[in-house]
A and B are shown apart, each in its own frame.
Chain A
Amino acid sequence: MSKRRIPSRVFTVLVYLFLYAPIALLIIFSFNSGRSNRVWEGFSLQWYLEFFQDTRLLGALRTTLILSVLAAVIATLLGTAAAIGFYSMRRRSRGVCLAVNNIPLTNADIITGVSMMLLFVFAIGLFNASPISQALGLRWRMGFGTLLIAHITFDAPYVILSVMPKLRQLDPNIYEAAQDLGASGLYAFRRVILPEILPGVLNGMIIAFTMSIDDFVISYFTKGSGVTTLAVEIYTMVKKPVTPEINALSTLMFVCVFALLLVVNVRQARQETASEKRKAALMPDAQS
């Protein structure tokens, strides 16, 4: 048995090598004192120093973080409410809503990006030509606002997909049980429903946040000219042949992602053991 597994193990290791070799290269050369990604010239932290002094890059990072947090929080509020709403719907209308909800997930990013850009250009043009704009002396333009709208739009579906299963797992009577015991609707939601679905809500928010951080294509089309995000900034940088700061940035990002993923996985593992415990506890008098 174990001998027969050797080829499959070799194959597996090769795939992982393929996945991680480029990342390892970035990390190693982030400590290179030379500019090149090809020749090792000695250890140095200068690219990290340069990265932390690059105001443009840091500015983009700040914008991205603010944007991602805002988008994730708003998408979580919007999406959790929507998930409860969908859950309450009859099967047909719920199906339609979930299908539309899936559009940003399945559609190519570039289509989502350009279609929203069209809408923004169209709406802004309409507004700026309107008497309201002239009366207020206000002119709209693409920028942080449009970026935020776009991010909320593609974040919210992830929140909904993460909350819906938790709602389905709920004992259908649990809300009624709370009311039966004297809780008002709001109290029952806060004390009973919310704690039960909270893991799904938090996971949804984390996924939304990482999606926002990671997004390049949609931001690229909806950001306008005033602001820039980290991903867009990276794009302009990697188009140049040699940019060693990118190595430092990649290493930092990798560490952050690794830490985040670790947190998420530990959380999930805890939830799973909890639910397994529950199953085990229920086994003795489960009807076979």
Chain B
Amino acid sequence: MRNRSLAIPYVVWMAVFVIAPLLLIVVYAFTAKDGGVTLSNFSNMGQYFPAFRHSFVLAVTATVICILIGYPLAYFLSKEGVLVRKVAMMLIMLPMWMNFLLRTYAWMSLLDDNGLINQFLSGIGFFRLINTLFGTDLTCFHMINTQGAIVLGMVYNFLPFMIMPIFSVIDKIDPKVIEAAQDLGANSAMVFRKVIFPLSLPGVLSGVTMVFIPSVSTFALSRLLGGGKTLLLGDLIEMQFLGNAYNPHLGSAIALVMMVIVLVCMAVMNRFGEGEEGVAVL
């Protein structure tokens, strides 16, 4: 049973298909098309600063919104009975297992100028009310093809990744710990502030990792919900590898920089929340 050699095939597999590709990224990032070593891939990166800025601003916004929605929800759910908790968690996971492109597609038609949201708002006379109140001439909210729509897409697609780790951490808090705090004179607000919140931080940290990383690197969302008007890092990288701008050296350099920034962010964040439990998966 104790047989280390069983790991050999997979260790080799990881070396070839996990480690080697990442090393190739580094190699490509520091070489030019003719094969010579160069730093020009990095020195030219300044022109792509807006893509970096947009990606990080939108991803941070989406992550913060996910915390604001996900934390209270996870906390409320943790107070429910066993059955409700189980079903609720299953319902959180269910959309996650449906392809995110399909879910995004649904939003494309919802957010449209003639979409159901705008239809609904004009149906209840919302725009008429606004127009009479403020003397405007509004027929719809323009939502699709904006940065707001991209953030919405990120929140919608990745919210479950925030709720689940927070919930599982809060759920595991020993009720006796809370009783002990109450016994020592803490009211419910203090119990939350002094006991539950600090104990749930590791869950928040995994949630942040699991929302922020796919958000900052997404490339389809901006095209589908942002109308291609906002160029994000993911789109930029994709263009260098499969698009017209084909230049894997530049693409690798951008990917490398993104990876390093993300790693630094995560390291700093984990420093703040000592005792991180590692990234909870699923």
Residue ranges of A at the interface with B (Cβ–Cβ < 8 Å): 8-9, 11-12, 15-16, 18-23, 25-26, 29, 37-38, 78-79, 81-82, 84-89, 97, 100-112, 114-119, 121-122, 149-150, 152-153, 156, 158, 160-161, 175, 185, 188-189, 193, 207, 210, 214, 216-217, 220-221, 230-231, 234-235, 238-239, 246, 249-250, 253-254, 257-258, 260-261, 265, 269
**Contact residues of A: prevailing secondary structure:** helix
> Given the complex of chains A and B, what is the CA–CA distance between A265 and B218 in angstroms?
30
A26 touches B102 (CB 8 A): yes
B104 touches A238 (CB 8 A): yes
B9 touches A78 (CB 8 A): yes
Q: A19-B92, A239-B223 are in contact. Are A250 and B3 (CB under 8 A)?
A: no
A156 touches B13 (CB 8 A): yes
Interface residue stretch chosen among B114-122, B173-181, B196-204: B114-122
- Of A79, A102, A150, A269, the residue contacting B10 (CB under 8 A) is A79
Q: A26-B105, A115-B25 are in contact. Are A88 and B112 (CB under 8 A)?
A: no
> Given the complex of chains A and B, what is the CA–CA distance between A153 and B14 in angstroms?
8
**Contact residues of B: prevailing secondary structure:** helix
Q: A114-B237, A119-B24, A153-B18 are in contact. Are A22 and B7 (CB under 8 A)?
A: no
Contact with A along B233-249 (1 / 0, CB 8 A): 01001100110000010
B108 touches A38 (CB 8 A): no
Q: A19-B95, A207-B282 are in contact. Are A118 and B86 (CB under 8 A)?
A: no
- Of A153, A193, A231, A238, the residue contacting B105 (CB under 8 A) is A238
A sample of 14 inter-chain contacts (CB < 8 A) reads A38-B109, A82-B10, A84-B6, A85-B11, A100-B19, A101-B14, A103-B18, A114-B241, A119-B20, A158-B281, A175-B1, A234-B102, A238-B108, A265-B90
Q: Which of B188-229 contact A (CB under 8 A)?
A: 209, 213-214, 216-220, 223-224
B98 touches A23 (CB 8 A): yes
Contact with A along B116-155 (1 / 0, CB 8 A): 1001000000000000000000000000000000000000
- Of A84, A249, A250, the residue contacting B1 (CB under 8 A) is A84
> Given the complex of chains A and B, what is the CA–CA distance between A88 and B106 in angstroms?
48
Interface residue stretch chosen among B36-44, B45-53, B70-78, B267-275: B70-78
Q: A81-B7, A106-B209, A265-B86 are in contact. Are A118 and B252 (CB under 8 A)?
A: yes
> Given the complex of chains A and B, what is the CA–CA distance between A84 and B237 in angstroms?
38
> Given the complex of chains A and B, what is the CA–CA distance between A37 and B106 in angstroms?
9
Identity of the chain A residue whose Cβ is nearest the Cβ of B93 in the assembled complex: A261
Interface size on B, residues (CB 8 A): 85
- Of B10, B90, B115, the residue contacting A85 (CB under 8 A) is B10
A214 touches B99 (CB 8 A): yes
> Given the complex of chains A and B, what is the CA–CA distance between A157 and B158 in angstroms?
21
Identity of the chain B residue whose Cβ is nearest the Cβ of A149 in the assembled complex: B17
A22 touches B24 (CB 8 A): no
Residue ranges of B at the interface with A (Cβ–Cβ < 8 Å): 1-11, 13-14, 16-22, 24-25, 28, 69, 72-73, 76-77, 79, 86, 88, 90-95, 97-110, 112, 114-116, 119, 156, 159-160, 209, 213-214, 216-220, 223-224, 234, 237-238, 241-242, 248, 251-252, 255, 258-259, 262, 278-279, 281-282
- Of A88, A105, A161, A250, the residue contacting B102 (CB under 8 A) is A250
> Given the complex of chains A and B, what is the CA–CA distance between A153 and B108 in angstroms?
32
Residues from chain B with Cβ under 8 Å of A109 in the complex: 214, 217
- Of B13, B99, B109, B278, the residue contacting A234 (CB under 8 A) is B99
> Given the complex of chains A and B, what is the CA–CA distance between A265 and B10 in angstroms?
29
B5 touches A110 (CB 8 A): no
> Given the complex of chains A and B, what is the CA–CA distance between A10 and B107 in angstroms?
23
> Given the complex of chains A and B, what is the CA–CA distance between A208 and B282 in angstroms?
12
Residues from chain B with Cβ under 8 Å of A85 in the complex: 3-8, 10-11
What's the nearest-Cβ distance from chain B to residue A230, in Å? 8
Q: A11-B76, A88-B2, A106-B279 are in contact. Are A81 and B10 (CB under 8 A)?
A: yes
> Given the complex of chains A and B, what is the CA–CA distance between A261 and B93 in angstroms?
9
B98 touches A105 (CB 8 A): no
Identity of the chain A residue whose Cβ is nearest the Cβ of B256 in the assembled complex: A111
Residues from chain A with Cβ under 8 Å of B4 in the complex: 85, 88-89
> Given the complex of chains A and B, what is the CA–CA distance between A207 and B93 in angstroms?
12
Identity of the chain A residue whose Cβ is nearest the Cβ of B7 in the assembled complex: A85
